[in-house]
Structure 1
Amino acid sequence: MSTMQDNREATMIGRRSDGTPVKRPLSPHLQVYDMMQMTSALSISHRISGVVWTAGVVVMVWWLVAAASGAAAFGQVQWFLGSFLGILLLMGVTAAAWYHTLAGIRHLAWDYGWGYDIPTTYRTGRAVLIGTAVLTVLTWLALLLSW
């Protein structure tokens, strides 16, 4: 008869390098974190923007493959990307790319050891959000003016 109270306990059992058994702690889950706290929200947003950025790269590969496939395939992709939904998709990918880039620079600063104090963390978080908005608008203004 098993003495386990919870099925998750099976994943908590491990061994040290000398072979003695050890009980590992369960990691905290989303319920532990305050989602309205700027650091948590920006961290989660950074991960989400990475996924959106990856989806944007897939769309770019679709566009390139269509361009190599011929005029008919390229015309269909161009039609979709020129539609209202396509432009919204491209704007979202642009915002995700800028956000992910700026948040990545912020993380590099942390890796260097700068910006861990709370006022600097909040200041750089606001700078990432404002920078994302400004750079996304500037990118689309440049696109529309050059079109």
Structure 2
Amino acid sequence: MASQRVFQVGLRRAGVPMFSRMQPAGRIAQRRFAATQHVEESEGQEILRKQRLQRPVSPHLSIYRPQITWYGSALNRVTGIMLSGSLYLFGIAYLAAPAMGWHLETPSMVAAVAAWPVFAKVGAKVALAFPFFYHSLNGLRHLSWDLGLGFKNTTVMRTGWAVVATSVVAGLYYTFLG
């Protein structure tokens, strides 16, 4: 279809200088069959407003059924940002510690964490364990996709839920038994 259109436009361009005495050579003759009239600015805006009401609305994500791939992708990004952000913050604090007078060497960190109440220790382990295991296991899943394995819908769903379950089990093990 597009090649036919290009051919027709080319014929028109080639034929315009020969058959039309009113158009200078090299110019394209345009024909507009729509009737036009001058309208005021406010009237034109009203026409556009009415046309917008008749246009179809683009569907939103809320009309689709949620899938494990959506949540898995979002959670992978969020856990990656959480882990890398905390690594960068600690790295910058560790580098700035001597100049600021902070003590972030290992013995002082161990002593500080040992003084925390139990719920704070468990909360810190949970905040690190679940994102770490989910992001790591989902990274292995993505590496298998890079090899071309596991692209069937059932396999994608099964491995998505397997990553969630395994990261929960590993996170709980690390939090309470590790």
TM-score if structure 1 supplies the norm length? Answer: 0.60
1:6-48 superposed Cα distances (whole Å, 9 cap, x missing partner): xxxxxxxxxxxxxxxxxxxxxx9x7488472111110111000
Unaligned runs of 5+ in 1: 6-27
State the identity %: 23
Aligned length: 118
Which has the larger share of strand?
Answer: 1
Residue 20 of structure 1 corresponds to which residue in structure 2?
Answer: none
1:89 aligns with 2:124: yes
1:81/1:53 CA distance change after superposition, 3 Å: farther
1:142 Cα deviation from its structure 2 partner: 3.8
Residue 11 of structure 1 corresponds to which residue in structure 2?
Answer: none
RMSD: 3.7
2:68 counterpart letter in structure 1: M
1:54 Cα deviation from its structure 2 partner: 1.3
> 3-state SS of the aligned residue for 1:90?
helix
Distance 2:148 2:115 in 1: 42
Preserved CA contact (<8 Å) 1:38 1:122: yes
1:133 aligns with 2:163: no
Residue 75 of structure 2 corresponds to which residue in structure 1?
Answer: 45
1:131 Cα deviation from its structure 2 partner: 0.8
1:97-144 superposed Cα distances (whole Å, 9 cap, x missing partner): 11000011001111111111111011101110011011111222343x
Unaligned runs of 5+ in 2: 1-47, 49-57
1:82 Cα deviation from its structure 2 partner: 3.0
Distance 1:136 1:99 in 2: 9
> 3-state SS of the aligned residue for 1:82?
coil
TM-score if structure 2 supplies the norm length? Answer: 0.51
1:89/1:125 CA distance change after superposition, 3 Å: same
